[in-house]
Amino acid sequence: MDNTADYRTLEKRAQRKDAFIKAGTYGILLVWAVMVLFPFYWMVLTSLKSYGTYNSEYVPALFTLSPTLENYRDAFTAVPLGRYLLNTAVFTVCTTATMVVVVTLAAFAFARLEFRGRDGVFVGFLSLMMIPNELVVVTNFVTVTELNMRNTFQGLILPSVMSVFYIYLLKENFEQIPDSLYKAAKVDGTSDLKYLIKVMIPISKPTLVTITILKIIECWNSYVWPRLITDDQAYYLVSNGIQEIRENGFGRENIPAMMAAVVVISAPLIVLFLAFRRKIMDGVSRGGIKG
Amino acid sequence: MKIVLKNLTKKFPSRDRKKREEVVAVNDFTFEIPDGSLVGLLGPSGCGKSTTLNLISGLERPTEGRIFFGDDDVTDLPAENRGIGLVFQNYALYPHLTVRQNILFPLENLKGKEKLSREQMAGKAREAACLVQIEELMDRRPGELSGGQQQRVAIARALVKRPKVLLLDEPLSNLDARLRLQTREEIRRIQRETGITTIFVTHDQEEAMSISDLIVVMKEGEVQQIGRPQEVYDSPSNLFVAKFLGTPPVNVFYGRIGDGKLYIGLEAVMEIGEGKDQEVFAAVRPEGFALQEDGPFTCRLKGREVMGRDVSVLCANDASLNPTVRCIVRAEDKVDLGSAEVRFSLIPGKVLLFDRETGQRVDFEVM
Amino acid sequence: MNGKKWNSAGLKGWLYLLPAMVFLGGFMVYPLIDVFVYSFEEGYHSASQTYFGIGLYNYSYILHDPYFLQAVKNTFLLVVITVPLSTGIALVISVGLNSIRAFRDLFQTLYFLPYVTNTLAVGLVFMILFQKTAYTDGFINLIITWFGGESVDFIGGPYWAKMFVLCFYTIWVVMPFKILILTSALASVNQDYYKAARIDGTSKWRIFTRITLPMISPMVYYLIITGFIGAFKAYSDVVALFGTDLNAAGMNTIVGYVYDMLYGNSGGYPSYASAAAIILFMIVLTITCLNLLSSGKHVYH
């Protein structure tokens, strides 16, 4: 019996099957890629169609030959889109900065300092991670209203600052820094705060950057709390702005202008994502946090 | 099952994407492994020994060359049709399955006319478990076993289908020193009992020497020497092989052949037959030194290490490549630690000469 | 000396912790207690801050409120449809992603995009894609009619159509997270297991069911649990599609009901809102516990 020929057919069959599976795999992946990308394509496409063109298309065209930027001008002039963007930027920067400071100090206390009750408090913190935001929003709403902080940045920022999970993440990271460094610093007479700033923060920079970026994303997209606490357009964030535009802006029909606003709002985060792709994806998969 | 490798070559694309060049992991291997033998592939890390194993197993395909099992060319045959068993370095036991389920796993894959009944499978699994003596562990999970026990389960899983060839990748590297001795005897016993042609990969020369019928010494993708362990030890084909085999390692000196004598430094240490005068490396096994008061070879005495049966004399010589020359002498031989020098005569069979340029062995006549 | 040093170190620790404790105390712990208090205060009025008495009236009120019942129905439907579907699709895509080499990075990046986009903004795009107005059938209806179907208004039309769009968008939104978690779980499975299985001639399907799936089962369960929790809290994606007046659209969710009770046209009832929030919390808690209990049986750790 000629075994070699037998093996050849065996191998050929296996190869054909592999090629088939591979084609199927790429097919599925491609379909999902189109599903993901299509809304983005559609939003850019629509934002480039003129108002007249869009409304005359009973059957929507899949591309446009006469792109226009007038919708972008409308988006900034007909509604205070610039204002929304500015508000969101202020809100995002203040919230994220405060969060980073507070979280770093707390993580340092848990990871490095020794005091009675530390572990108990830490367990307490962890258990707070399980409390859904929806449960505390009611009281926070009442509190902020009673403090007359509706339609203020304080009212927007203060309840949005804390993220217990990041304390946990950073504490884990701090704990990986060897004890010997701390002891060496103590022998040299370095204060705790200086040690934190000069040693721990630089070493943990990758984690801090990840936390910062994730918080920025969270802030930029936050909708529920800002909606509850602002009814003055001067304090709207982009999410509320979009909702406002949809319900009262441009008039219901000016969809191209709406899409232009949507593009403007989405662009900063997409740029941020493309720049820090690895960091963001690593951070999310490591943290297992849901946005 | 005899295994023949013919001009086997495997190239990988370079890891560094910018560089276009390829890495040659295995370069033009040709050798034959006799049926029923236990062969050790030996070499430092990165020498291509694991790649060779993967090529034989069919997990990787050679860039060039052919592989034969017996008279069959299996080069194009997928791994699962080659009839091999493979034991991984970290054992790769499925952690969520019990020992029994792990051993049964390969049998449950059989299809068509090879398909076995439940009882047949259980019987085969029991047989394999008996062979490696783990019958009482069948219902545990791998996580509950010691390293040595896991190793046995892995071997049982590899053997349960009665493979024609058994391949082991660094089988002892995850075990502690004592278990290592025990397990290598175990591997030897199992191989003898089953008679399956077995190839294992190791970087530990002692391990390879102690149990193999045949060792293949490799370096940077090239075979250096193939032979019985004692043969390779006694007559290494080049300096690399000489240095790689033996503990403590061989002592290497700058030497010169002139007028039928071997010179180390300025001393003529040994008479050798007529030959070309040339610069050489003289490698002397630690057991190749004999204390002799008026011996021809002089070293500065540095100290002594007592190891029970033997005594190591530590000394230094300007012509030595290493700062310390280690000589093993019998415990009865007295060394005067007070003196600054120690003199030896060299035992001819334990002295090896290598060409200074090529590193190849230079033969000489023992006078 | 020693004691004093210990004391000062202890004080310092609390000092570093102070800002975090103030924020958490003020905006998490206190509200957590207070929400229970609110939920039992009957007839609380936010302007005068008075109430009639303590009892279960708030709970009984919302449990008889047809809007709340509608919200519960919507939420359960959403959960039951999207959690298994999204996890299943994510599993298929992740396995596919894990098996290819070319373009893998590109696909992974693309798939993650929805995670970083504003739910409200992209929701608007979905609304436009699915909506049928007097001026246009919309893109999705274009495709439906291509295949010879009848066009439907998914945004203002029949209930099943609205539910479909909501589920579709929800899956689109949660997918990046699931794909990411599953691909990293798959990538962390030791390749030797697959090699061993290949040598034993294990079929692809058997490798998947007997090796891959058990190995990544903790992550799959984690995704199911977080998926349940996330879907029960659905709100902003619903608003994005159907606008803020969800009761009118018949598409309200439990969380939406809470916010509506708190604020907006139907707002001003923090007690009802609290009771609804606590009911939601209890539902989520129960389902999470059930999930954890069942996972003990099936998951290999």
What is the pLDDT, as a whole number, of residue C7? 54
Nearest CA to C181 out of C90, C69, C272 is that of C90
Query: Between vectors from CA C189 to CA C184 and to CA C195, what angle results, nearest 5°?
Result: 135
CA-nearest residue of chain C to A268? Answer: C117
What gap in Å lies between CA A41 and CA A53, rounded to an integer? 17
B84, C199: Cβ pair inside 8 Å?
A: yes
CA-nearest residue of chain A to B73? Answer: A4
C196 inside 8 A of chain B by CB? yes
Instruction: List the alpha helices (DSSP H) in chain C.
Output: 2-24, 30-40, 57-63, 66-99, 104-112, 119-130, 139-146, 159-187, 191-199, 204-206, 213-232, 236-242, 246-249, 254-262, 270-298
Q: What is the ipTM of this complex?
A: 0.88
* C-alpha pair distances (Å), C138 with each of A255, C145, C172, C230: 12, 11, 19, 30
The pair of structure tokens assigned to C206 is 């058997």
Of B64-73, C135-144, C177-186, least confident by mean pLDDT is C135-144
Domain extent listing, chain C: 56-298
Domain extent listing, chain A: 2-47, 72-288
Of A250-259, B146-155, C112-121, C163-172, least confident by mean pLDDT is A250-259
| B122-138 average pLDDT score | 91
Q: Which of A47, A94, A135 to mutate to test the interface with C (most CBs of C within 10 A)?
A: A135
The pair of structure tokens assigned to C258 is 């809470």
Q: Which of B1, B66, B77 to mutate to test the interface with A (most CBs of A within 10 A)?
A: B77
Please say if the pLDDT value at position B336 is more than 80: no
B76, A8: Cβ pair inside 8 Å?
A: yes
Nearest CA to A32 out of C100, C44, C179, B123 is that of C179
pLDDT digits (tens, 9 = 90+) for B244-289: 998 889 999 999 988 888 898 888 888 887 778 889 999 999 999 9
Count of other CB atoms within 10 angstroms of residue A103: 28
Of A111-115, A264-268, B18-22, C52-56, least confident by mean pLDDT is B18-22
Residues from chain C that touch A106, judged by Cβ atoms under 8 A, are 16-17, 19-20
Element (H, E) at B144: none
C209 inside 8 A of chain B by CB? no
Residues from chain C that touch A230, judged by Cβ atoms under 8 A, are none
Residues from chain B that touch A17, judged by Cβ atoms under 8 A, are none
CA-nearest residue of chain C to A229? Answer: C263
| B130-145 average pLDDT score | 90
Domain covering C56-298 in this structure, CATH number: 1.10.3720.10
pLDDT digits (tens, 9 = 90+) for C264-280: 777 778 888 899 999 99
What gap in Å lies between CA A242 and CA A258, rounded to an integer? 8
Residues from chain A that touch C109, judged by Cβ atoms under 8 A, are 274, 277
What is the pLDDT, as a whole number, of residue A77? 86
What is the pLDDT, as a whole number, of residue A1? 41
What is the pLDDT, as a whole number, of residue A122? 92
- Mean pLDDT is highest, among A100-104, B145-149, B160-164, for A100-104
pLDDT band at B340 (very low <50, low <70, confident <90, very high): confident
Name the DSSP letter for residue B93.
Answer: -
What gap in Å lies between CA C215 and CA C300, rounded to an integer? 7
Helix then strand then coil, % of chain A, to nearest 5: 80, 0, 20
pLDDT band at C76 (very low <50, low <70, confident <90, very high): very high
Nearest CA to B162 out of B127, B213, B137 is that of B127
Name the DSSP letter for residue B320.
Answer: B
pLDDT band at C46 (very low <50, low <70, confident <90, very high): low
A9 inside 8 A of chain B by CB? no
Q: At what angle do helices B99-108 and B118-132 cross, to 10 degrees?
A: 130
Please check whether residue C38 is in contact with residue A130, taking contact to mean a CB–CB distance below 8 angstroms: no
Per DSSP, chain A holds a count of helices (H) and strands (E) of 16, 0
Location of structure tokens 């032979």? B227
Count of other CB atoms within 10 angstroms of residue C297: 6
B106, C211: Cβ pair inside 8 Å?
A: no
User: Chain B: nearest CA to C211, how far in angstroms?
Assistant: 7
From the list C20, C244, C274, the residue facing A106 with the nearest CB is C20
What is the pLDDT, as a whole number, of residue A58? 79
Amino acid sitting at position C43: G
| A16-29 average pLDDT score | 90
Element (H, E) at B367: none
What gap in Å lies between CA C134 and CA B131, rounded to an integer? 80
Which chains pack against A, by 3+ Cβ pairs within 8 A? B, C
What gap in Å lies between CA A182 and CA C162, rounded to an integer? 59
CA-nearest residue of chain A to C172? Answer: A36
B59, C193: Cβ pair inside 8 Å?
A: no
What gap in Å lies between CA A265 and CA A144, rounded to an integer? 27
Residues from chain C that touch A238, judged by Cβ atoms under 8 A, are 118, 121
What is the pLDDT, as a whole number, of residue C268? 76
Residues from chain C that touch A142, judged by Cβ atoms under 8 A, are 34, 38, 46, 270
Burial status of residue A78 (CB atoms within 10 A of its CB: 0-12, 13-18, 19 or more):
middle
* C-alpha pair distances (Å), B16 with each of A18, B12, B50: 28, 11, 21
What is the pLDDT, as a whole number, of residue C300? 61
Phi, psi of B13 (to 5 degrees): -65, 145
Count of other CB atoms within 10 angstroms of residue A101: 13
* C-alpha pair distances (Å), C157 with each of A122, B284, C151, C249: 50, 94, 10, 9
What is the pLDDT, as a whole number, of residue A5? 57
pLDDT digits (tens, 9 = 90+) for B198-222: 999 999 898 899 999 999 999 988 8
pLDDT digits (tens, 9 = 90+) for A54-84: 888 777 888 888 888 888 988 888 888 899 9
Phi, psi of C294 (to 5 degrees): -70, -30
* C-alpha pair distances (Å), C128 with each of A54, C68, C162, C166: 12, 28, 13, 13
DSSP string, A136-203: HHHHHHHHHHHTT-TTSHHHHHGGG---HHHHHHHHHHHHTS-HHHHHHHHHTT--HHHHIIIIIHHH
User: Chain A: nearest CA to B59, how far in angstroms?
Assistant: 14
Domain covering A72-288 in this structure, CATH number: 1.10.3720.10
pLDDT band at C9 (very low <50, low <70, confident <90, very high): low
* C-alpha pair distances (Å), A92 with each of A153, A156, A219, A279, C68: 11, 10, 5, 19, 34
Count of other CB atoms within 10 angstroms of residue A186: 12
